[in-house]
Structure 1
């Protein structure tokens, strides 16, 4: 069977991602936290699928994002900080109740490459336990803060039976570039199998909230189906 143009493009894009040439760190400290490696889950890149992911919550903005996702019948992946789960326990439970995926994003968002093995493990395990105590669900996915990792810290994470999640599209919404810019970056950067990085916590996320409906609408218009990362 001959590969269609979309199929070939999808595999080429996925190969670039695995090689670590597509994704980039996306937080104010990214200049100090160079990403050394990425692992992107295979999202059936040959099909027009895309995954929305939200980092650094839960926060007061998360319910607004959940409302938009619900109206659009879209599921997403929420990479939660352990320190935020307790104060926003009801929101964390809502994420689970409405069918979204939980992702461990560490307890306090450190650069893992600067942590000892013990400190890195404590960040991961504490957050796993906290999320479980609140939601009764243990995440099966982990995303490194800033995307910063090395072979040592990846070994620590995998020892907890966690899959490492990267991204292929960085909206850089944390910089608050404007709602239209966030949407444009998400839509223009998306290829089949894309993982879009946005934030529902860590600062003022009103622009992210305001951009989300247009982002979803435009991606749907391009024929994309939303999947969990």
Structure 2
């Protein structure tokens, strides 16, 4: 298996290889970012980020981390017949091309763009590596190509790493035909080994139209698969139906 990884999320942290946790609510002022669907429809979107960085690649090559693909997440979604959306970095798709293709070809799922190597498009951004202004568009397009090569799919949605973006960054995504989609509910699975905390944080904040952000990249989010079944059951108890982003947003 080919291990290619981005110098993004962690390479900006002097040797650090653990991804920083996201805040409860994305802190950004950029216009044009979708954070939820209609509040009048009792549907929600479960979304999973597939992060990949140069630091994570190093962990794979050294054997420190066995995998940054949490297959248990996908297994739970399939078992419960639950639709979901996966935001993949281009490098994740390169490292796990077969998994990316399987996600893209499963009618339950959709695959979208999470940048090529997970840099911070605006700063500060939780320790993510800085990306030069002139390299931002190339990074987005490189991810599009990598994802398309692995899956045959051309993403329509873009999610900025860490939720960090400026107005000009959003406009770049829009120029190449992508809508920027973030979230209004953070599952809190990054660096969280306790699945019950992920369940309670997710269900406490969710409402009609919510977009929930979790992770499929394992390693730095080890308990997501364990929490997911209870999250799905909890959503149903609240009368909320998980759908893909395209279904939730109607575009």
Which bracket does the TM-score occupy, shorter chain normalised?
0.7 to 0.9
Contact 2:121 2:161 in 1 (8 A): yes
Contact 2:90 2:115 in 1 (8 A): yes
Q: Which residue in 1 is equivalent to 2:30? A: 37
| 1:155-166 alignment runs, 5 A limit | 155-166=171-182
| 1:163-202 alignment runs, 5 A limit | 163-176=179-192, 178-201=194-217
Alpha-carbon distance between aligned partners in 2 of 1:154 and 1:74, rounded to the nearest angstrom: 30
Alpha-carbon distance between aligned partners in 2 of 1:60 and 1:180, rounded to the nearest angstrom: 21
Q: Which residue in 1 is equivalent to 2:230? A: 214
Cα separation, partners in 2 of 1:145 and 1:57, compared to 1, 3 Å:
closer
Does 2:118 align with 1:109? yes
Cα separation, partners in 2 of 1:78 and 1:140, compared to 1, 3 Å:
same
Cα separation, partners in 2 of 1:75 and 1:30, compared to 1, 3 Å:
closer
Contact 2:115 2:140 in 1 (8 A): yes
Does 2:239 align with 1:223? yes
Q: CA RMSD for the aligned pairs?
A: 2.1
Q: Which residue in 1 is equivalent to 2:72? A: 64
Per-residue CA deviation, residues 122-179 of structure 1 (Å, 9 max, x unaligned), is: 1100000011111111000000001001111111111110000010001221031510
Q: Which residue in 1 is equivalent to 2:164? A: 148
Deviation at 1:94, TM superposition (A): 0.9
Alpha-carbon distance between aligned partners in 2 of 1:156 and 1:61, rounded to the nearest angstrom: 29
Q: Once superposed, which parts of structure 1, at least 4 consecutive aligned residues long, lie more than 4 Å away?
A: 57-60
Q: Which residue in 2 is equivalent to 1:97? A: 105
Does 2:48 align with 1:54? yes
Alpha-carbon distance between aligned partners in 2 of 1:166 and 1:86, rounded to the nearest angstrom: 23
Q: Which residue in 1 is equivalent to 2:155? A: 139
Does 2:28 align with 1:28? no
Specify which structure has the higher proportion of helix: 1
Alpha-carbon distance between aligned partners in 2 of 1:29 and 1:206, rounded to the nearest angstrom: 13
Where 1:86 maps in the other structure, the secondary structure is helix
Cα separation, partners in 2 of 1:64 and 1:57, compared to 1, 3 Å:
farther
TM-score calculated relative to the size of structure 2? 0.74
Q: Which residue in 1 is equivalent to 2:82? A: 74
Q: Name stretches of at least 5 consecutive residues in structure 1 with no aligned partner.
A: 1-26
TM-score calculated relative to the size of structure 1? 0.81
Cα separation, partners in 2 of 1:29 and 1:70, compared to 1, 3 Å:
closer
